[in-house]
Each structure stands twice: as C-alpha cells, then as structure tokens.
Structure 1
Amino acid sequence: MESNKNFTEFSGLDMRASIRLRQLHSVLRQPSSQQTLSHTTPPPTPDLFKVTPKVSLFDQKIDIRVHGLPSKVKVTLHAVVEATWRRERVQFASCGHYVTDEHGMVDVSKDESLGGTYAGVEPMGLFWSMEASPAGPRNIRMVQRNVERPLPYHLFVYLGHLSLSDLHVTQPSPRPLAITTQQRLVKGAEVRRLPIKEGCVRGTLFLPPGEGPFPGVIDMFGFAGGLMESRAAMMASHGFAALALPFFNYQDLPTTVKDVNFNYFEETVNWFASHSSVKKGGIGVVAVSGGATFALLMGWKLSQVVAVVLINSPIFYVLPDLYCGDRHFTRGGELNYERAIMTSEGLLVKNAWMYTEDVFIPIWESSTRVLALISDDDGQVPPQLGDKLQAMYPEERRHLIEVVHYPGAGHLLEPSYTPHCRFCFNPPSGSDLLWGGRKKEHAKAQEDSWHRIITFLHTHLPSS
C-alpha cells in the first residue's frame, strides 16, 4: 500500500516529525468510511484542513490549506461531489499531487500540483478539474438541477501520490488522513426563487435581495430542452433579475423544438421588460448553442432587448423554418448528416452545417450590443461563425459587437469552476455528442468568459 511505502521512506525524519507521521499512519489502520461519506457525517480525523470559506457561491474562489504534516511528504488532495444526471446519482472527483513544505504545509493557492487531474499552481484545480469517477459512467455532465440545495464537496488528504483509480477502484479503499466538507451555493442565500406561469410564459424568476428594481436578464440554454436554472440563479447572486426561460419540453410548452413559435419570445420579452422588479430601459439575453439563435432573433426584432450574450452560437436559425404566430418568420441553415463524424467520444457536427450569408440573422441592423464568446475547439458549432457575424456589421456599427475567442475551449462554456464536459449523452440526438475542449484551457476560458458576461451586462443594461 502506498501509505506503508511513505511511512518507511520517511522513517528517518527528526523525532517530532517521525512521531507525527506514526500518529497519522495509525489512522490508516482504522476501517475506511469513504464509501458512505455522501450519506453520513464524516468521522472525526486529525484536523489538518483549513478551508476558507466553508460556504461559498459556486463561482467564488476557495482557500485550501493542509498543515500539521511532516516536511517534504508526498500527499494527495482529493475532492468528491455527487450530482444528478438523468435522474441518477453520479459521482465526480478530482485529485492533486503535492509535497509538503519545510513546515509540513500545503497551500493550494501557492504550491504546485505535480500530477493527478491537474498540474501546476491552480488554486481552484480541485473544482474545475473534476471528472466522472472511474467507477461510474464517463459520458455524463455535472448539472445542478436543485438550485436551492447547497452542493457539498468532500475534501480528503492522503499520504502518497494516488490516482483517481487508486481512490475509487482499488479495494480496499485507501484510508484518508483527514476529511472536511465545503458547501457550494448556486443561488445566494437571500436570492428569491419565483416559479413563473404568466400567459404563455414559463420558467423561474430569480431576484437579488433588496427592493429593486434590478437590471433584467433572460437566460436560455440549448436544444436539450427543459428548464435549466443554475446560470440564472448565479446571475441573480450578482445583482440581476434573471429569468430562466425554457422554450420546449417543459410543462405545457411544445414537446419538440421544431414546434417553437417566435411569439413565445415576444410575449416573454414584453412581460419581463415591464415587470416591477426589472429596471426600465431595456433587458439582456444570455444564451448558448441553439438557444442563442433565438437570442439573436430577439436582439434583432425586439427593441426592449439591448444586450445579447452569445455562447458558441450559430448565427442563423438552425432549423428550416420558424413562424411567428401564423406568419413565416425566418428560414435557417441545415445539417448535412453525411458530413457529421462519429468519433470514439461522440458525434462531431461542426463541419456538417450548410448555410449561406442570406440566412444570417441580421442583428447588425439593430442597436443591440452583442458579446459573442467563441470556443475554438467546439465540436458542434464552427468557431469562424462569430467572425463572420462581426464582418457583416458596417464599419460605423462594428463597435456594437465584441467577439472573444478561446483556444482549447469546448462547446459547453459555463460559469467559473464548472467541471469541463468533453462529451456526454444528448437525449434529443439519442447519442453522445463531442463538445470538445481541453480541460485546463477550458477552465481558463470559463473563468474569463463568466467575468466578461457579468461585466458586459452591468455595463450595457440600465443602472438607474
């Protein structure tokens, strides 16, 4: 066992360190309770961890330190969290390999991880580098469906440098030296969550604490359908009145995206922009993937929409025809499925889109501000589309659009410290989709893009 090896290796330390290591080693002989950590309170162990704060917002940085160990000892820091994927409980995990300093301490904000699921000085590496547990399915994505419930991250420290397989597959499981829990909140404690059923509008409105009114933002996801609340809840934690807006496969909305009608978005904008909790003078829309094509259409046609954030968006409607009421509203590009590629990780679609400039949504005709975030390793949307959209703007209006490219990032560009999902099962397509991206580059892109989104919205939405 790795811990025995380390005990023998460091038995020549000074007396105090040797005694301390023997005390820690004795912990390893106790029966492991790791298998039940998600269901019971962690047992008392040596107080080696200092985690600040113990409760935080999901996009907040955490200070993690380990102390009280002998100097120059190899240790593994390990994080585990459970989430729900397609109504099943699944586990995500990460680990970093460290060596204690001359004081027997590891400070994750300053010290280098030598391996594991991330390497280098990465203060939030234990969070953004998480991946599906080796003991479970790989084609899954971390999604926090219940935004009211804090997400508990269990943190462990082990002697030796251990891999995720060592920690999750090897039996019996290694014994941790210490355990603590850090609670992550998608929604700030004082943010209000209000289910919405107004006319044809469905969704959830999140309001910051206080009287208001607040800058208003509509938040939409892509063609997986249903209601996704996490990003809107996080935006409300940053001072926005945020409406998480589903547009199909939810309650009495259309069951398929091809039956969506543009008048749904028109009614939503009219209702939301006039809401007593939303500042007058215009609202914003944040959307990703296929949902972002509706954001483009809203920014083009609806004057109340003054700012749009596009996250890896096609710049044309991605289905053949869209109607507004009974009137034909727009046509779009099409997919040539013969040009789609099934890889070992999932379906690669970005080279299968068929389009011409005459189907581009002409948002450049409006005065709407646009922030287009582009992942250059996107497996679903061609990254050059953002540049093509910017090129359509007349020179005198080009200040209205900002295009930001992220080399090495994949399609699912989410808020800071969300684990990278390179591929996962996609119910509408009935197969795994390759989203693309490389873990470290994707993490840096998410941190930068989330900051840009919040700043962009605060800059271009009414502030008084």
Structure 2
Amino acid sequence: MVKRPSIGLLGFSKGGDLCLSMASFLKGITATVVINACVANTIAPLHYRDMIIPKLVSDTGKIKITKSGFFNMMDSWSNPLEERNHQSLIPLEKVQGPFLIIVGMDDQGWKSEFYAQIASERLQAHGKERPQIICYPGTGHSINPPYFPPSRISVHAVLGEAVVYGGEPKAHSKAQVDAWKQIQTFFHKHLNGKKSVKHSKM
C-alpha cells in the first residue's frame, strides 16, 4: 500500500533510471531521488503499455580489467546523447515533480556526473525546474545508508563478475551520512511540507 496523495521515489544505479522512467510516465509522483543513475534506460529494454524503450548501447569489449582481476565498466557505456541512443533516453520533460540527484564523483560504474549534467540541461531546456544536484568528491558508485561498509568492489548482478565501483573509504563513509540526511530533508519538504527533519543521534 502506498500512502497518498504524495509519492516519492528513491533509486540507485539501474534502480535510478527506473525511477526516472516512473516519474516520466506515471501520474502522482511528487518527488524523485536518484543516486548515481543514468538518464537513459540501461541493461534491458523497458516495456510500458505499447511502448518499448531500448537499452543504452554498451560494448563489453571496452570493459577494462584491473591488475587484481576486477572489471571496470566505465568505458563500456556509450554516450546517451549519440544519435543511435536517442531512443533510449528517458523523456524527463514529462516529469512533474522536483528531483534530487546524488553523484559520487569517483563513480567507476559509469559517468554519473555527466549523466546528472545531461538531466539538468534537458529539464531546463523544456522549462522544468533545475534539479538539485549534490556531488561528493572521493565517493564511488554504491552510496548506501549511513554506517554500511563502503562497497568499492562487488559482484555485478548481471555480469556475475566482481566490478570496481570506486570511492575512497573515509570520503565515501562521510558522503553516505550526509546523503541520507539530504534525502530525508528533500522528501520531508516535498512530501510533507516540512523544511527540516530530526536526525538520528547514532
């Protein structure tokens, strides 16, 4: 059950582009937060009613392997702005509510900072409000809730291989604490009409 009338979305990585798609096509979405998300549909084609959004073109031949044998996928993703990828771009101009985009500037999964810039320019080009973008230096792909161990390397759900996600432990841990506060504040403001939120004493 979803508590109405205000509905917020929170998505990370592939879940982020799913949230962008939901906010673009579904009614009643009040606020959306994405963490290191792409502005194009990724991994697999997205089916919605009689429409299909193809996946962003990727080239596994461009995956780099580190000295330790881990995969680095950064260069395997093609540019969403290339003509061949236009159909995979999520139509953000259809979104009604505000956005918070969280970016790890040492994201080795894909170019999250670049994608955030594309999202901002696309929204403003269509007369939408500029999204709130928070960038965290030294922070990798997996920005989890506070006090989770920084995930610099993990097994990719699709590839089944250990993938490098980046992030310097101290900076990443601090970013997780701050990002969690920023997410709560954003949702309280846009879902409950409150300007602040009581933070955990942990």
- Structure 1 length-normalised TM: 0.38
CA contact (8 A) 2:104 2:141 kept: yes
Alpha-carbon deviation of 1:336? 0.8
Q: Residue in 2 aligned with 1:352?
A: 76
Q: Residue in 2 aligned with 1:411?
A: 141
Give the letter aligned to residue 354 of structure 1. Answer: S
Residue 299, structure 1, aligned to residue 23, structure 2: yes
Residue aligned with 2:186, SS: helix
CA contact (8 A) 2:92 2:122 kept: no
Give the letter aligned to residue 332 of structure 1. Answer: K
CA-based RMSD: 1.9
Alpha-carbon deviation of 1:422? 1.0
Alpha-carbon deviation of 1:463? 4.9
Alpha-carbon deviation of 1:421? 1.6
Distance, in Å, in 2 between the alignment partners of 1:320 and 1:439 is 31
Alpha-carbon deviation of 1:398? 3.0
Alpha-carbon deviation of 1:310? 0.4
Distance, in Å, in 1 between the alignment partners of 2:157 and 2:96 is 37
Query: Could you say if the C-alpha distance between residues 287 and 320 of structure 1 is closer, same or farther in structure 2, counting changes exceeding 3 Å?
Result: closer
Identity, in percent, stands at: 24
Alpha-carbon deviation of 1:320? 5.0
Q: Deviation per CA, 1:196-244: give whole Å up to 9, x if none.
A: xxxxxxxxxxxxxxxxxxxxxxxxxxxxxxxxxxxxxxxxxxxxxxxxx
1:43-442 alignment to 2 at 5 Å? 272-273=1-2, 278=3, 280-325=4-49, 327-343=50-66, 344=68, 346-357=70-81, 358=86, 359-383=88-112, 384-394=114-124, 396-399=127-130, 401-442=131-172
Distance, in Å, in 2 between the alignment partners of 1:402 and 1:364 is 16
Alpha-carbon deviation of 1:386? 0.7
Distance, in Å, in 2 between the alignment partners of 1:397 and 1:426 is 34
Q: Deviation per CA, 1:236-288: give whole Å up to 9, x if none.
A: xxxxxxxxxxxxxxxxxxxxxxxxxxxxxxxxxxxx44xxxx1x322001110
CA contact (8 A) 2:145 2:177 kept: yes
Residue aligned with 1:413, SS: coil
Q: Deviation per CA, 1:166-189: give whole Å up to 9, x if none.
A: xxxxxxxxxxxxxxxxxxxxxxxx
Distance, in Å, in 2 between the alignment partners of 1:313 and 1:459 is 22
More relative contact order, 1 or 2 (CA 8 Å, 6+ apart): 2
Alpha-carbon deviation of 1:411? 0.7
Unaligned runs of 5+ in 2: 195-202
Q: Deviation per CA, 1:397-424: give whole Å up to 9, x if none.
A: 233x111111110111011121112112
Runs of at least 4 residues off by over 3 Å:
none
Aligned residues: 186
Distance, in Å, in 2 between the alignment partners of 1:340 and 1:319 is 15
Residue aligned with 1:334, SS: coil
Give the letter aligned to residue 382 of structure 1. Answer: K
Give the letter aligned to residue 26 of structure 2. Answer: L
CA contact (8 A) 1:345 1:423 kept: no
Give the letter aligned to residue 436 of structure 1. Answer: G
Residue aligned with 1:420, SS: coil
Residue aligned with 1:397, SS: coil
Give the letter aligned to residue 397 of structure 1. Answer: K
Distance, in Å, in 2 between the alignment partners of 1:329 and 1:438 is 38
Distance, in Å, in 1 between the alignment partners of 2:93 and 2:136 is 23
Answer with 376-385 or 423-432: which moved more: 423-432
CA contact (8 A) 1:345 1:433 kept: no
Give the letter aligned to residue 306 of structure 1. Answer: T
Q: Residue in 2 aligned with 1:154?
A: none
Distance, in Å, in 2 between the alignment partners of 1:427 and 1:311 is 17
Alpha-carbon deviation of 1:427? 4.5
1:451-462 alignment to 2 at 5 Å? 451-462=181-192
- Structure 2 length-normalised TM: 0.84
